[in-house]
Amino acid sequence: MANIEQIKKLREETGISIGECNKALGLSKGDMQRAKEILKEWGKEVAAKKSERQTGQGIIDSYIHANGKIGVMIELRCETDFVAKSADFKCLAHELCLQFAAMGDEQGTLLAQPWIKDPSKSVKNLIDELISKVGENITLGRVVRYEI
């Protein structure tokens, strides 16, 4: 069984529930790195299960680069207004705006792009992480990028 300090630390680092952190630490025999990998795998499974659910709520976010020559507007959707108003959801929307302002669609499909802040993750991985944290389906709707 994992000690409470390990559980608290893993919870702070991942945002995943205490119960799930405890299970992952138990399976990893207290190895924090392995527990994070277990949680990541579980997150992928959760995201796949949630993908069929309707996303009727969400927000529109935008970003205009400081030079005034690049702008992005995105539609990020979720299942409930509660999640749409959450700080994590708003942060994801803003991160996606920054991503698409920086990368455009040069890297193929938007979801397959490597995340500019951590190329070991894709945009889809970023969305899937929040799905596993909030327990709702999240989809990227329309994306518009302007450049002069």
CA-based nearest residue to 21, from 7, 32, 34, 33: 7
53-76 mean pLDDT = 94
Structural domains in the chain (count): 2
Please check whether residues 33 and 78 belong to one and the same domain.
no
Structure tokens at 15: 């945002």
Residues 6+ apart with CB under 8 A from 57: 77, 78, 79, 80, 81, 83, 84
CATH number of the domain residue 107 falls in: 3.30.479.20
The pLDDT of 89-106, averaged and rounded, is 90
Is there a contact between 71 and 65 (Cβ–Cβ < 8 Å)? yes
Q: Does the pLDDT value for residue 1 go beyond 70?
A: no
Looking at the fold, whether 46 and 61 belong to one and the same domain comes out as no
pLDDT digits (tens, 9 = 90+) for 39-51: 877 777 766 667 7
Give pLDDT tens digits for 20-37.
888 888 888 888 888 888
Domain that holds residue 43: 4-50
- Of 19, 34, 50, which marks where a domain is finished? 50
Q: Are residues 91 and 131 in the same domain?
A: yes
